[in-house]
Structure 1
Amino acid sequence: MTRKLYYENPYLASFQTSLINQGQDENGEWYAVLESTGFYPEGGGQPYDTGLLNGIEVNRVEEVDGEIRHYLVSSLDAENGLVEGKIDWERRIDHMQQHTGQHILSAAFDNLFALRTVGFHLGREESTIDLDTSALESSHIEEAEKLANQIVLENRPIETRWVTKEEAEKLPLRKSLAVEEDIRLVIIPDFDYNGCGGTHPSSTCEVGMIKILAIEKEKKKYRVSFVAGNRSFRQFSKKNHILGKLTPLLNAPQEEMEAAILKLLETKNALEKKLEEANDKLIAFEASQMRLNRENTDLPVTGLFENRPIQELQKLARAIVMEENGTKAVLIAKNGDKLQLVCAKSSDARGNIKEAVNSALSLINGRGGGNETFAQGGGDATITPSELLSKLLANL
């Protein structure tokens, strides 16, 4: 078996070893198996390490059938079987901070409120824990976050220990063990005792600030999103940069931004309402003009348009047939490479609007819906709007 250097020294960023073998898997990907490795394989909620072996990129590491495979972008040139490994240290320390941050945050929820963590995901931007509870108060979030950061500031030691099942049972484990052999515990004395196979720093201060970003209700549990360490710094920097840009735009300091945005939204909604009312008046006026301008009052009111939303066609068609008995309206718009149509009639007018529209839609591979007095649809511009209009008029 490969010697696991990442357990002996999680701070090992480079190492030398010997090549046991290399080959290709069923997908043709090259991989190498080493006598010893500092690369952590994916497992226990922690992603794998990446880096280089003799200058060749290692893009993932997995434990397959008891052997640790280092997947490579190409075959490994190992003269005399010697291999030099270099770990992407920024990725490793990030994973250590997030994983240990999860231990601390989960223990804080457990110790304070007996809320157990039943799921953990270490993502690229943020991580999540799932709490086994159907109720979570904002005070729970604040107190757990406060305690977690207090543990960080106290610079408590983090111990890793291999124990037997009997030895583990004598300790106040936060959750039951998933294995009965090769038991590895990660311990923050007098705070958290947890079985874990991940890599962790030697003290809590190295985790850095732990910040909860959001909570989300999911069935009978709550998902808590958080960041730790360097990610917390990046989050703070990014949000501070955004707030700095918003300050002059809103003409308000950060503490007054919420009120400024609410006022802005109220103004926006009021303006949109006025604009909609004005647009409705314009459509009503347009409808009356279209009725007046038709040459024959026995024929439907028609209109051909370019790049006009179907929602406006609907309003216009209804306005046309609303004010005059025995009226029909046929409106068509060419929007890009699509034709859209709306047809309507007053309740006393003859004909079936839906049947006429369905017949015309077959010419443009279209689909639509409606009823006897009002129907709409759209399809491909395989014919001109004028040709489609002629078809509709013939059907009506």
Structure 2
Amino acid sequence: MSEKLYYQDQYLGRFSSRVEKIEQDDDGKYFAILEQTAFYPTGGGQPHDIGTLNEVKVYDVEEIDGEIRHYIEEPINKEELCVGEINWDRRMDHMQQHAGQHILSAAFAEEYKYETISFHLGTELCSIDLHTDSLTEDEVIQTERMANLIILENRPIETKWVTKQEINKYKLRKELAVTENIRLVIIPEFDYNGCGGTHPRSTGEVGSIQVLHWEKHKKHIRVYFVCGRRVRQQLRTKHQVIQRLTKLLSAPQEKLEVVTEQMLAQMSEYEKQIATLQMEIVDYEATTYIEKAEIIEGQSVIKISSENKPMAVLQQLAKKIANLSSESFICIVNETSDKLQLVCAKGENLPINMNQLIKIVLPKINGKGGGNENIAQGGGEKTQSKEELFDLIVSTFFDMKN
């Protein structure tokens, strides 16, 4: 097994080691096994380190069957002494987030007896799942206050390897997942927790903790938060958004919510007015199209050609015409940039099933759709012109009628 230098010195960013072997996994990806390594492998909720081995990129690190595999973009020379460098910004970020999670989880347990049942360290946000079905803003504010107080006190973060027999000496926050090679991460007089991750030497290095939001997740509450450098990044990003919004809405930060609510209410009113006007247009167009109906073999046929119109509007138009003209067959073909759409409808006195009709027509344009006896719609590829599609629809209608 490789000697785990990250447990001896979590701040070690550069090291040398003998290469024990270079192999490929079942997917053909190259990996190196080293005599000793400072690269932390994925585990315990903490993602792996990245970096280089002899300037070859290390993009993944996993511990498999006791071996720490350093996945590399290309094989390195096994005979040479290997120089490894980890990406320090990523390592420090992970240490801040992981230690911050310990502090936040301990604060929730201390203040409200809410135990943490899972932890996720993402690339932008972190989250913990709390064993509770509700969480208030006051509880979050109080817990966050306690967590940041622990950080300001700059308490030491200690690690200790213990045996199963020695566990009873410590007030552990949760039950251990292992019985051998037990490693405790300790913030004296506050948190005692079994953990295999990397952490800074003191709580002060976490910088700060900020809870962003929380939500119901299954039967628990998922809390999203950031620590350290990510707090500053979140502040910077959100402030930039607010600055842009203040310019767009011509309102100061403290009035953005009120102005936005007013705009949404105004938009809702506009949408109602647009819907009313749209129905008036549909009524007018329906009457116009009925007057221009073709009589084919004694049958009233209304063909409507359109471009880039919403399907919902075309359906409303077809239904309106059918209600006003009980003997008419209505077929609408709408052309968009990449497909042909169709709507077929009938007056109540026609016996033809519109859903059956388009099921015959749509395969001709590699299309799909559906509906009912009175109206059906669908769309497909531009395998033919609009005129050809009209001819196909009308001929299919008369085939079914006869």
Q: Which range, TM-score by smaller chain? A: over 0.9
Q: CA deviation at 1:206?
A: 0.5
Deviation digits for residues 219-259 of structure 1, max 9, x if unmatched? 21111111100011111101111111111111111111111
Contact 2:18 2:82 in 1 (8 A): yes
Contact 2:300 2:327 in 1 (8 A): no
Q: Determine the structure 2 residue equivalent to 1:284.
A: 283
Q: Within 2, Cα distance between the matches of 1:150 and 1:57?
A: 40
Deviation digits for residues 350-392 of structure 1, max 9, x if unmatched? 5433333333334333333223322222223323222222233
Runs of 4+ in structure 1 deviating by more than 6 angstroms, as ranges, are none
Single out whichever of 258-267 and 18-27 deviates more from structure 2. 18-27
Are 2:10 and 1:10 equivalent residues in the alignment? Answer: yes
> Partner of 2:300: helix, strand, or coil?
coil
Q: Which amino acid aligns with 1:370?
A: G
Are 2:257 and 1:258 equivalent residues in the alignment? Answer: yes
Q: Within 2, Cα distance between the matches of 1:60 and 1:294?
A: 69
Deviation digits for residues 92-132 of structure 1, max 9, x if unmatched? 00000010011011111111111111111111111111112
Contact 1:54 1:78 in 2 (8 A): no
Q: CA deviation at 1:40?
A: 1.2
Q: CA deviation at 1:204?
A: 0.4
Residues 27, 330 of structure 1: alpha-carbon distance in 2 compared, 3 angstrom cutoff: closer
Q: Within 2, Cα distance between the matches of 1:29 and 1:326?
A: 69
Deviation digits for residues 58-115 of structure 1, max 9, x if unmatched? 2222222222222222222365x42222111001000000100110111111111111
Are 2:212 and 1:213 equivalent residues in the alignment? Answer: yes
Query: TM-score when scaled to structure 1?
Result: 0.94
Q: Determine the structure 2 residue equivalent to 1:169.
A: 168
RMSD: 1.9
Residues 209, 283 of structure 1: alpha-carbon distance in 2 compared, 3 angstrom cutoff: same
Contact 2:22 2:78 in 1 (8 A): no
Q: CA deviation at 1:265?
A: 0.8
Contact 2:17 2:35 in 1 (8 A): yes
Are 2:79 and 1:70 equivalent residues in the alignment? Answer: no
> Partner of 2:28: helix, strand, or coil?
coil
Contact 1:59 1:71 in 2 (8 A): yes
Q: Determine the structure 2 residue equivalent to 1:89.
A: 88
Q: Within 2, Cα distance between the matches of 1:201 and 1:356?
A: 71
Single out whichever of 157-166 and 340-349 deviates more from structure 2. 340-349
Q: Determine the structure 1 residue equivalent to 2:309.
A: 308
> Partner of 1:198: helix, strand, or coil?
coil
Deviation digits for residues 307-343 of structure 1, max 9, x if unmatched? 2222121111112222344233221112234222212
Q: Determine the structure 2 residue equivalent to 1:153.
A: 152
Contact 1:159 1:188 in 2 (8 A): yes
> Partner of 1:313: helix, strand, or coil?
helix
Q: Within 2, Cα distance between the matches of 1:261 and 1:237?
A: 22
Contact 2:19 2:34 in 1 (8 A): yes
Single out whichever of 108-117 and 356-365 deviates more from structure 2. 356-365
Q: Which amino acid aligns with 1:265?
A: L
Contact 1:7 1:199 in 2 (8 A): yes
Single out whichever of 235-244 and 64-73 deviates more from structure 2. 64-73
Percentage identity across aligned positions? 46
Contact 1:12 1:38 in 2 (8 A): yes
Query: TM-score when scaled to structure 2?
Result: 0.93
Q: Determine the structure 1 residue equivalent to 2:230.
A: 231
Structure 1: give runs of 5+ residues left out of the alignment: none
Contact 1:326 1:350 in 2 (8 A): no
Q: Determine the structure 1 residue equivalent to 2:341.
A: 340
Contact 1:341 1:376 in 2 (8 A): yes
Q: Would you say how many aligned residue pairs link Structure 1 and Structure 2? A: 395
Contact 1:353 1:371 in 2 (8 A): yes
Residues 371, 76 of structure 1: alpha-carbon distance in 2 compared, 3 angstrom cutoff: closer
Q: Within 1, Cα distance between the matches of 2:141 and 2:309?
A: 51
Single out whichever of 157-166 and 305-314 deviates more from structure 2. 305-314
Residues 39, 263 of structure 1: alpha-carbon distance in 2 compared, 3 angstrom cutoff: same
Q: Determine the structure 2 residue equivalent to 1:45.
A: 45
Deviation digits for residues 293-316 of structure 1, max 9, x if unmatched? 335494222211222222121111
Residues 304, 145 of structure 1: alpha-carbon distance in 2 compared, 3 angstrom cutoff: same
